[in-house]
Amino acid sequence: LALLGPAPGAPCCPHGPALLFVKTSQGKEEGRRFYACSACRDRKDCNFFQWEDEKVSETRLAAREEYNRNHQPAFTHRQNVDRYKNFVLLPSSRRRFCQECQQLLLPAEWEKHSDHQLLCDITTAQLKSPSQLLYPLENKKTNAQYLFADRSCQFLLNLLIDLGFRRVLSVGTPRLHEMIQSKASQEEEFNVRSLLLDIDFRYSQFYTEDEFCHYNMFNHHFFGGEAALETCRKFLCEENGERIIMVTDPPFGGLVEALASSFKKLMAMWRETENEGHDNKEMPMFWIFPYFFESRILDFFPSFSMMDYQVDYDNHALYKHGKTGRRQSPVRIFTNLTPSMIVLPEEEGYRFCAVCQRYVSSGNQHCEICNSCTSKDGRRWKHCVLCKKCVKPSWFHCNNCNCCTLQKHSCEKTDVGCFVCGKAGHKRSACPSLSHA
């Protein structure tokens, strides 16, 4: 399956304009092109599908518009802001939150939610940390709200402050956004501001239109239309576009090419500032993603490099420190900033490599042959003379495959074909042998 990208005049589902795809076989295009939902890779979450050359009847178009309307949130962002103002005025004993509807409740609405699970006595501290009040949406491919652990969040914020940034475009990083918001409300001298762009509309209950835009990072769609787009543009262009950075933490199951396309559009909005020096420059950016996507990210952003810092998450079984998780998170920071500027904490085992001019993890030993600190996963890698590169410590050179791989692997390079008859060109479900049987 290959993504052909956002197409002008694409049909819409509840998640905004659909993306155009085509089925491919061994790199060649084949089959009809079709539109599918940009945000949901699983048909169970959004079953939108339309052939590119399909003629859609007026009746079906009307039904689709009706469906899209019915799948919009119950309140607009403006209504949610007004509701929040009223909610904050209530004494904490009258502040309730419906866990089933994921909604702040005003006293007049209690009756309607009487048989739901409610949280009572909502404190001001809870309202300042909505990511802990809301259930994380853990669909890996759509929202995947694995939230930064406090340690990683604090590190990121300190790093941004040390680098002199004053504005953060937080794309899908609600916990970083709320940490910035919270500090700004508590410390007078704290002068960093954040704008959150996120597909999770529940955040509109806690933030004004200048603090949050409902946004789909897979198709660069602002649900709030021109007004939200203008809010983002204004935020990017303040201070002539200086001292701003984009920090993004997309779902790891998301399509890298779709994300890269949206991030380039956000960068282009920044480039349109009054500052003529931005013409050939990239907006500073941290893209937080697993290290095994390095080559894909560098395809789209050749100026990026990967830092060794391991980003941890609170609610992810594997990507956190401690007994319940794997010790080493594979999640890294990709950035277009000069690597030597990114100072990593020595107390967590990072050290500066004078040859590579960047901070690396303690297990990442400099290879004299590659002339680089080559480890990607925090362990010490070993150099393979035959492969002419460093490889994982658990890999061995296989003469049949002519490369390094796991010791227990199958060497046979079989052509991918049907599991029933072994012939190429069709899958098991469409095998002619099955129909004969």
Q: Check whether residue 39 and residue 60 sit in a common domain.
A: yes
Residue 285 belongs to some domain of the structure: yes
- What lies within 8 Å, CB to CB, of 433 at 6+ separation is 420, 421
| Angstrom distance (rounded) from CA 386 to CA 95 | 67
- What lies within 8 Å, CB to CB, of 376 at 6+ separation is 291, 292, 294, 306
Q: Check whether residue 357 and residue 285 sit in a common domain.
A: yes
Please list the ranges in the chain whose pLDDT falls under 70: 1, 26-29, 138-145, 274-279, 315-327, 412-437
Which secondary structure element, helix H or strand E, spans residue 432, and what is its range?
helix 432-436
Domain that includes residue 30, residue range? 2-71
Residue 167 belongs to some domain of the structure: yes
pLDDT for 410: 85
In angstroms, the first-to-last Cα distance of the chain is: 30
Residue 358 belongs to some domain of the structure: yes
| Angstrom distance (rounded) from CA 428 to CA 47 | 23
The dihedral sign for the CA sequence 306, 152, 170, 317 = positive
| Angstrom distance (rounded) from CA 276 to CA 198 | 30
Q: Check whether residue 230 and residue 291 sit in a common domain.
A: yes
| Angstrom distance (rounded) from CA 54 to CA 45 | 23
The dihedral sign for the CA sequence 112, 114, 116, 120 = positive
Q: Check whether residue 250 and residue 342 sit in a common domain.
A: yes
Residue indicated by tokens 């993004």: 248
What tens digit of pLDDT does each residue of 207-255 get? 999 999 999 999 999 999 999 999 999 999 998 889 999 999 999 888 9
Q: Check whether residue 65 and residue 94 sit in a common domain.
A: no
- What lies within 8 Å, CB to CB, of 285 at 6+ separation is 245, 246, 247, 248, 263, 267, 304, 335, 336
CATH code at position 318:
3.40.50
What tens digit of pLDDT does each residue of 132-190 get? 899 877 554 444 567 888 899 999 999 999 999 999 999 999 999 999 999 998 888 89
Residue 138 belongs to some domain of the structure: no
Residue 423 belongs to some domain of the structure: no
Q: Check whether residue 56 and residue 110 sit in a common domain.
A: no
Q: Check whether residue 101 and residue 225 sit in a common domain.
A: no
Residue 12 belongs to some domain of the structure: yes
